[in-house]
Amino acid sequence: MTFRFARLMGVLLTFALGATADAANASKKGGKGGKGAGVEAQVPATPLAGRWALSLSTGQAGWLEVKRENGWYDGSLLWGGGSVVPVAGVNVDGDTLTIHVVREVERKDAKGKVARKQQLVSTLTARLEGETLKGTRSDPRPNGSGFTQVEFTGKRIPALPPRPDLAKVKFGAPITLFNGKDLSGWTLKEPSGRSAWSVENGTLANRPPEHREGEPRVRTANLRTEREFEDMNLKLEVQVPKGSNSGIYLRGIYEIQVFDSYGKPLDSHNMGALYSRITPSMAAEKPPGEWQSVDMTLVDRHLTVVLNGKKIIDNQPVLGCTGGAMWSDEFRPGPIYLQGDHGAVAYRNIVLRPVVK
C-alpha cells in the first residue's frame, strides 16, 4: 500500500466515523430517523401558550397554563374546585389545542373489594378566536356510559408586574369587617344555601352539623362581605378545631388555607398557604383549638402572609386564582369570603386596610 493511498483511506475512514457519530448524536437528540425522533425536537412557538383565566359554562372559575419546556409542550390546570394539577399531555396542532387529564378509578366487585383499577381520560379541545380561547371539556362518565361536556372560554392573563416595594405602598384607613355583635356587612355567598354561621361569644363562628357515618354529608354555605375590594392588607384571628378546615378568600378568588395542619410536613395545602399554589416557607401553625393570627397583604398579584408572627410567604407572585374562586378575573374587585362548607371554624378581629393607588 503506497503512502498516498494509505493517506486517502485514512481521510475516508475519518469522514465515515464522523458521519456515524453525528447520526448517533442526532438519534439521541430525537433527530430525523433517530430512535427517539421528535421526542425532544424543539416545538414551535404558539399563541396558545401562556396563562389563561377560564370561565366555565357551569358558572365556575378555572385556570390553564400552556408552556414550551425542554422541547415539548406542558401544562397545568385548575378546573372549578380543588388544586392546580399538571396535565397528562398537551398537543398543539396549528390553531387547535388538545389537553388530556387522566384520573384513576377503582372498580369494585359485589363484595366491595377492589377488583381492578382503570384510568379515565378527559379531553379539553380549544381554539383561539381573536383574543378569546374557546373550547369544550369532555369527561367520560365513571360507569363508562358516554360523556359529559362543559364549554369554557379563556382570557389571556397579562404578565406579572415586578415585585412591589411594600415599604412604599400606602394603605387606607382600617375597616372593621366584623363588629362582634351580628352579621351586619356579611351575606351568604350561596343565597339559597344552608347557613351555619352565627355570632358566638363575640366571634364569627361556623358550626355545621356533625357528619354521621353512613349518612350524606350536609353542605353548608360560605360567607362573604357585602363590600368588594381590590388590593389590601387583611388581619384577623382564627380558631380551628382538630381536623377542621376553612379558607379565607381575598378578592373572592385567592384562598389562604385555614386548616389543622399542626405537626404535618410542609405542603401547599397547609395552614397559611395560598391553596395548592404557594407552600409556606416554614411551619408556624399552632395546635388545634388555639387562636391564631393571620396577616395577609395582596399587592399587584404578589402575596405576603404572616402567620402567628412569622412570615411564611414573602411577597411571592400569584399566577392565578385558586379552587373555589368566584370568578377567574384577577383585576375585578371582590369580597372577602370565608369558607363554611368544610368544617367548624371561628374568626374574630377582622380588619382590612385597602391599598391607596
Question: Exposure of 226 by Cβ count < 10 A (0-12 exposed, 13-18 middle, 19+ buried)?
Answer: exposed
**Helix runs in the chain, H state only:** 3-28
The pLDDT value given to residue 23: 37
> Which whole-number Å values give the CA distances from 222 to 79, 152, 161, 248, in the listed order?
19, 25, 32, 10
The domain limits of the chain are 50-156, 168-356
CA 59 to chain centre: 17
User: Does residue 172 carry a pLDDT above 80?
Assistant: yes
Class of the CATH domain delimited by 50-156:
mainly beta
The pLDDT value given to residue 335: 98
The pLDDT value given to residue 213: 78
The C-alpha cell at 113 is 373489594
Question: What's the rounded mean pLDDT across residues 165-185?
Answer: 98
The pLDDT value given to residue 207: 96
- CB-CB contact of 131 with 47 (8 Å): no
User: Does residue 3 carry a pLDDT above 50?
Assistant: no
Question: What's the rounded mean pLDDT across residues 297-302?
Answer: 98
The C-alpha cell at 356 is 391607596
Share of the chain above pLDDT 70, in %: 88
The pLDDT value given to residue 229: 98
DSSP code for 274: B
Place of cell 378546573: 79
Q: Say whether 237 sits in a helix, a strand or coil.
A: strand
Whole-angstrom distance, CA of residue 174 vs CA of residue 205: 22
Question: Is residue 12 very low, low, confident or very high in pLDDT (cuts 50, 70, 90)?
Answer: very low
Whole-angstrom distance, CA of residue 258 vs CA of residue 271: 5
> Amino acid letter at 271?
M
The pLDDT value given to residue 43: 66
Place of cell 399531555: 89
Could you tell me the pTM of the whole model? 0.86
Q: Say whether 335 sits in a helix, a strand or coil.
A: coil
Question: What's the rounded mean pLDDT across residues 98-120?
Answer: 92
Q: Say whether 326 sits in a helix, a strand or coil.
A: coil
Average pLDDT, the chain: 89
* pLDDT tens figures, 57-78: 999 999 999 999 888 999 999 9
Higher-confidence residue: 115 or 249? 249
Judged by average pLDDT, the poorest of 3-12, 167-176, 331-340 is 3-12
Question: Is residue 41 very low, low, confident or very high in pLDDT (cuts 50, 70, 90)?
Answer: low
The pLDDT value given to residue 166: 98
Smallest CA-to-CA distance from 120 within 91, 134, 90, 141 is with 141
Architecture of the structural domain at 168-356: Sandwich (2.60)
